[in-house]
Structure 1
Amino acid sequence: MPSAEVTRADATRGASSGRRVRIAHLYPELLNLYGDSGNILVLRKRLEWRGLGADVMEVHVDDTPSFSNVDLVFIGGGTDREQRIVCEKLLGVRNELAAFVEDGGVLAAVCGGYQLLGESYAMGDEKLPGLSLVDLRTERGTPRLIGNVAVKSRICPHVIVGYENHGGRTYLGDGVEPLGRVAYGNGNDGTSGFEGCLYKNVVGTYVHGPLLPKNPGVADYLLSRALERRYGDGSLEPLDDTEELAANQAMYDRMMSGDIETQ
């Protein structure tokens, strides 16, 4: 193992650098499809393994969130009913959340959370207003886009792998960069070859599974951007990600060899 890598045992060093990342986990009781709460565990541990601090604030349905002292916001995926509840809650603090995004705040949104970022999203035959944080829209389509997915993205050195299950077709506006290109699966709409979105420090994606355990490069991208915004230094010591990357590669290899079927 290269000496520059930080092993899991190094976690005993403590948060010696004094740098901390403040994470707001929005509505975990509603938005936790396919283990999305596991993403928060990954962010916390990857900070702790480097001797950095992690402050995780869970925002529940009866809470009024504030983003003034937050570095990273996470919104998971949920059912149509839960997505509607969350959107109504967030519309009440939309201006503050938009100011956070425009100021370079880091926001990661998965599936239903991703759809809420745009100007509108469809629920059955109904068109509902979104948060208008990113220039995108989501329409309803058939059939559902279900199966494993692999995405090549500039934000991390490895292919992003996971699982998608969505009836929405998401279309990006001019100037909004996709998270990446689909190597396997469907992505945003099943036809464009794009998956997810990148806008300032916002990452939106349909990749569940959860997203971060098999994709450490995505986790580190989010953490690095959060540290850069707060401290002016986004550098992260490399970790020994042998197990995570082996799981990532095994899943990707199975997709590309045809051992995993998509629906």
Structure 2
Amino acid sequence: MTTKNKVAIITGAGSGLGQATAVRMAEEGVNIVVVDVNEKGGNETVEMVKKLGVDSFFIKTDVSKAEEVKNYVDKTVEKYGQIDYFFNNAGISGSGKYFLDTDVEEIEKIVQINLMGALYGVRYVAEVMLKNGSGSIVNTASSAGVIGQDSVVTYSATKHAIAGLTKSMVAEYAKEGLRVNAIAPGPTETPMVKAFYEANPAMKENATKGIPQKRLGTPEEVAELVTFLLTSKAEYINGEVIRIDGGFTNTK
């Protein structure tokens, strides 16, 4: 099935995994709706994908607010009349403090963006997809959503929840034509991860040592997986949480 003139919404598309996936999906002829709180990065992604010959526009969004999530869905439908693919990717990591040293305000912020933002996105996007008869969603979990990791307790809790969201949506709606999968990246060379390791340099060394391939992943490698899962190439894959971590969680 051709991907040309299909429509994808990508959240957190102003940098990192979202930006790399926007570019990779644009190479497949998919029109890209770029969603991010970062206006500069979002507009940069729009320009990158337009150079590949597809249509694109940016919607500034705080995904922790349900009304703003509904807005990006409504604007997409208003412009294109459809949503074929959704990369539900926006998220933050936190400060890297141990849980009992973490402020309640930080806990609430991580939960609102990582979990509630993902729930809102699936809620409003899936509604449109089911009306149109089909659709494919990829949620961003994490290696910290597969195993326990120190210094990221709240983040890990939200990413474990993403796995539950993914599997349960399939249990309810696969029979109506919806596919929902998740990726679980290990440490990857994104701006968010780089900033986290700059604040916690010892953790980068420990993480790299713990990866059998002895390096971090790249956003482009993750984008290839996301593109595969979103499109009809993965038509019979549903409800999976797929690790892409250089063997990191396999050794735990």
- TM-score, length basis structure 2: 0.39
Structure in which a larger fraction of residues adopt strand: 1
- TM-score, length basis structure 1: 0.38
Structure in which a larger fraction of residues adopt helix: 2
